[in-house]
Structure 1
Amino acid sequence: MGELPAPEFAAQLGGEGVVFRAGRFSVRLLSPLASVAEGVHSLYADSDTLAPAFADFTVRVQPASGLRRWYRPQALFSLNGALPFAPLPLAHAYPLLEWGLNWCVSTHCHQYLIVHAAVVEKHGQALILPGTPGAGKSTLCALLTGRGGWRLLSDELALIDLASGLLHPNPRPISLKNASIGIVQRTVADAVLSPAVADTLKGTVAHMRPPPGSMVRVLEPAVPALIVFPRFIDGVEGKLAPLPRGEAFMRMADNSFNYSILGAEAFRVLAALVDQSRCFDFPNGGDAAEAIATMDALVQS
């Protein structure tokens, strides 16, 4: 996509739309908003544009009509014409697109067991990083893929194949919040980030372009081997603590978007995944070098 001149891309996006690969899925996006065009053109530069015949999701990000077009302008996200979210301030349009695409996958793609987790891979071993907002999973994901040589599968959604138990990649821009933006900017020298957007529901947010190597391997699944639950605690030295598999199973189930929908099949798939993985807690104070070295030691042991 980065080979398209930016003005031409923006014109297509504001007209009939552009179909492109957003991680594992194809998206037809229509938007007249400059911030959306600039964000997609920059952060999906290594993604392929696709033939317009079919897309997994057809989405729009557009300004609200009526008085809202002029007074406190707002942005709307729609999927196939339906509006799943309340409008957000117009300045939040690009983060709204990324959050909306996460919602599309987590609520519609039940061919996978979907867990709220970052996933990276190195030396053939996939590392799952589940966590609630603020735990530091996306920050650790950005550090490992941006400086540690790990492959990005996803920063938000672990897609577990129901038949094989493998993890399917969905590499899209990595969502960074608040202090993590500065940590990544200082640590990952060649990181490409979107402009920071302040005062969102998650604080100040920015998105980081996925490493090109992750995009090349977008259709290559990975074998689960490690589950690490990061917990950011200011001032704490990072230290891995082994976690009983039963507790890891319960935490993974709690972080799943569709465990209750899939029922017994979800239990079977998740139990097999946890059984073949080494499981740890990882309280840490956000030291980038320490975190990268700790995760590298896991795949070497």
Structure 2
Amino acid sequence: MLNVSSLTPAQLRACLDGPGLDFQTGPFVNRLHSNIPHLASGLALLYGDYPLRAAGGFADFHLNLSQPGGLRRWWRPQVRFEQDGRHPFKPLPVTQAQPFCEWMMNWCVSNRAHGYLVIHAAVVEKNGRGIILPAPPGSGKSTLCAALACRGWRLLSDELTLVRHGDGMLVPVPRPISLKNRSIDVIREFAPEAVFGSVVHGTMKGTVGLLRPPAASVHRAGELAAPHAIVFPQWEPDAPAVLEPTPRARLFMRVADNAFNYTLLGAQGFATLAGLAERSAGYTFKYSKLDEAMTIFDALAGNAP
């Protein structure tokens, strides 16, 4: 099967400028159009391992990130997002095209993928045990997820946990991990071999760096994972790593608060979330040092300390 790295830079730009680049992320086929040169090079770096799909076939999401022409192209150049003929968001500076693309792909899944319960959470797996990490911005969720991915855990997602209705299995949708501000340097120090795209300053989320996902996680995107635990992480300066159980009723409500489509799904959403809470141990987790966190998570995966 061909992947994005099979294309030469000229072929990649021709796809983006022409019929679109059709590539698969987990269960979704994305068709992306763009006339922004540095977005093409960013995709080549971050998405090289992702499988291509035949142009013109079915695509779940149709995305267009373009730089307007005319004077705007030279005076405060911008990138605008179009999805199925609509412009749901205001344009951003063109230098932010790569993180904008990631945010829009997340938006498409969280707003359209109602065949799943969609939770705002990172999710990783090791030894057949899926660990879900729901948390608000600033909790250290993505930093912890990136560290685990760099230490051999399979990345399912750093942002969106998809729970399949009926059997409650976790559906991988691995994509680049979005790190912000100080977290970028933390992971560079923790995992010097990690590959980042261009770091973008001045976004609405501060400085953003996208970490290329492990190739093995991309290649195993068709393999479901069984939920084992739901862990609510919180980074605190100088805090020792402490994992504390969460009562099951509290676990249900906290996950519901982090689900994008729980209310929309009605009874189906309740049943899926109830099954997830029943199958998963719940914890809160405070930490400051990634090495200590790795030891605790390896124990959760069934590895001997």
Select 1:3's aligned residue among 6, 10, 30. Answer: 6
Q: Kindly state the Cα deviation for residue 95 of structure 1 after the two structures are TM-superposed.
A: 0.4
Q: Which residue of 2 aligns with 1:29?
A: 32
Q: TM-score, normalised by structure 1?
A: 0.96
Aligned partners of 2:149, 2:121: CA distance in 1, in Å? 15
Amino acid at match of 2:228: A
Deviation track 1:56-82 (CA, whole Å, cap 9, x = no partner) reads 111111013444222211111111121
Say whether 1:58 aligns with 2:32. no
Q: Kindly state the Cα deviation for residue 91 of structure 1 after the two structures are TM-superposed.
A: 0.6
Alignment of 1:1-301 (within 5 A): 1-52=4-55, 53-147=57-151, 149-285=152-288, 287-300=289-302
Check whether the contact 1:29–1:58 (CA below 8 A) recurs between aligned residues. Answer: yes
Q: TM-score, normalised by structure 2?
A: 0.95
Q: Secondary structure at the match of 1:2?
A: helix
Aligned partners of 1:184, 1:23: CA distance in 2, in Å? 25
Check whether the contact 2:168–2:275 (CA below 8 A) recurs between aligned residues. Answer: yes
Q: Which runs of 5+ in 1 are unaligned?
A: none
Deviation track 1:108-160 (CA, whole Å, cap 9, x = no partner) reads 0100000000000001100000011111111111110112x111111100000
Amino acid at match of 1:8: Q
Deviation track 1:164-207 (CA, whole Å, cap 9, x = no partner) reads 11000001111111111111111123211111100101110011
Check whether the contact 2:154–2:216 (CA below 8 A) recurs between aligned residues. Answer: yes
How many residue pairs were aligned?
Answer: 299
Check whether the contact 1:24–1:171 (CA below 8 A) recurs between aligned residues. Answer: no
Aligned partners of 1:35, 1:133: CA distance in 2, in Å? 27
Check whether the contact 2:26–2:171 (CA below 8 A) recurs between aligned residues. Answer: no
Aligned partners of 1:83, 1:257: CA distance in 2, in Å? 21
Q: Secondary structure at the match of 1:72?
A: coil
Q: Secondary structure at the match of 1:268?
A: helix
Aligned partners of 1:22, 1:207: CA distance in 2, in Å? 16
Identity of aligned pairs, percent?
A: 47
Q: Kindly state the Cα deviation for residue 274 of structure 1 after the two structures are TM-superposed.
A: 0.9
> RMSD across aligned C-alpha pairs, in angstroms?
1.2
Aligned partners of 2:224, 2:15: CA distance in 1, in Å? 32
Check whether the contact 1:46–1:215 (CA below 8 A) recurs between aligned residues. Answer: yes
Q: Which runs of 5+ in 2 are unaligned?
A: none
Q: Kindly state the Cα deviation for residue 22 of structure 1 after the two structures are TM-superposed.
A: 2.5
Aligned partners of 1:45, 1:263: CA distance in 2, in Å? 38
